[in-house]
Amino acid sequence: MKFDAIIIGTGQAGVPLAASLAKNKLKVAIIEKGFVGGTCVNVGCTPTKSYVASARRAYVANNSDELGITIKGEVQVDLKKIKNRKDKIVQDSRDGINKMISDNDHITLIEGAGKFVNNTTVEVDGKEYTADKIYINVGGRPRIPEGFKEVDYLTNESILQLEEIPEHLIIVGGGYIGLEFAQMFRRFGSKVTILDRGDTLLKHEDQDIAESIANIFKNEDIHIQLNSNCISAKKVGDQIEVTHECEEDNTPILGTHLLLAAGRIPNTDLINLEKAGVETDERGNIKVDEALRTNVNNIWALGDCNGQGGFTHTSYNDYQIVNSHLFEEKKRNLSDRYLCYAAFIDPPIARVGMNERDIKDKGIKAKVASMSMNKIGRAKEMGETQGKLKIFIDAKTDKILGATFLGVRADEYIHSIIDTMYADASYTVIRDAVHIHPTVSELIPTMLENLKDLD
């Protein structure tokens, strides 16, 4: 079957690209081996943030005494009900995507695993489909370390199918996925142990931020063991025993459930890229140029599989980049993008651009504005004083280099920094702005009035 374009994968880049191609009267095939919507809709942002919301409610119910609110009796957590709510939210998103596709005469959904035959042909379940342009949007999957493949482990996908709260959840990995699940299941009532190979959680963040997060977790009675080399796990009766090497304690840990959160790998090894001649890097990410074109002229790679972000918002921006080169006068490029992200722990950490470590590594002369959340009036009023805010300014240009916010609602007001950076404006624009009182973000201008040299 001949199409104008083939898209492999219905993630956050693939679906809007299919809609845009169809709007421009092109005949499009979009291939999906699982549920439509990709990681975000099915096993990522949508389901996990619904769980985070439930965990937050449980935490507030159990921790409002200081604000004069006391709940008599035990707070009950119904994981099956939480799961059912999540399933409905996910299904609503899937239904919306399926309806968009089925209502569009220019788009054909092909169900099954797509694999390249050559650079213009993709095979699905024995049938071949051809197109002059092919867009790869195959996403990624959890990485399963050696030593764990023979035990009944959980991933960020399968843990969302549990209907009973784990008695003791052991988590291998102290990154964003591991931390989100650690906190939510601790708030649901599980005992939680985190094992991480590094000497700090969130290895890409500044030391003070990582330490603050560790303290937040310890205050919620989440056990953290750093410098752990998690080497194996085995079944012991009805429990799982994780053997590890750790400077603090190398005693094997027994738990009822094991979550592997040791990173993700791209699904590029599943689609016979070599038959299309598409090149990947040492991690399996597809190499792309500024317009997300691969080394093969008629093939592009979008989303997690190109290694250029790994977030829903970067995947959608990948669509915007490709679409601009196809149909828009103003062209977008990969280098236009400032990397920004958040981890939806409580309080959340949000970041854009460079942090202190990045700046020092590059030898940039910079200034820093910082403030602890316990100095901010609105945070005190809400009883949400954990965390700190940091903003970095280029000493020569007065442009914002980046910011890291750890604090209540940080995932929202980080955008005032992001927008200023995209405007290519001096930090004085936001410094001199008048913000609404009482808010957390009103302290950002105040912070920027008190810059200090970054040592």
Residue with token string 């921790």: 63
Enclosing domain of residue 214 = 158-262
Q: What are the contacts of 237-245 at 24+ separation with CB within 8 A?
A: 240/151, 240/152, 240/153, 240/170, 242/170, 242/172, 242/195, 244/195
Number of domains in the chain: 3
Residues 106 and 15 placed together within one structural domain of the fold: yes
Residues 239 and 375 placed together within one structural domain of the fold: no
Strands 28-32 and 107-111: parallel
Q: CATH no. for residue 276?
A: 3.50.50.60
Q: What is the pTM of this model?
A: 0.96
Residues 172 and 245 placed together within one structural domain of the fold: yes
Peptide bond into 445 cis (omega under 30): no
Q: Flag whether 149 is in a domain.
A: no
Q: Quote the mean pLDDT of the chain.
A: 96
Residues 269 and 257 placed together within one structural domain of the fold: no
Residues with active-site annotation: 437
Residues 75 and 47 placed together within one structural domain of the fold: yes
Q: Flag whether 379 is in a domain.
A: yes
Give pLDDT tens digits along the chain (455 positions).
Answer: 999 999 999 999 999 999 999 999 999 999 999 999 999 999 999 999 999 999 999 999 999 999 999 999 899 999 999 999 999 999 999 999 999 999 999 999 999 999 999 999 999 999 999 999 999 999 999 999 888 877 999 999 999 999 999 999 999 999 999 999 999 999 999 999 999 999 999 999 999 999 999 999 999 999 999 988 867 899 998 999 998 887 667 888 999 999 999 999 999 999 999 999 999 999 999 999 999 999 999 999 999 999 999 999 999 999 999 999 999 999 999 999 999 999 999 999 999 999 999 999 999 999 999 999 999 999 999 999 999 999 999 999 999 999 999 999 999 999 999 999 999 999 999 999 999 999 999 999 999 999 999 98
Domain boundary among 336, 371, 399: 336
Residues 59 and 188 placed together within one structural domain of the fold: no
Residues 119 and 212 placed together within one structural domain of the fold: no
Residues 76 and 34 placed together within one structural domain of the fold: yes
SS3 24: coil
Residues 136 and 271 placed together within one structural domain of the fold: yes
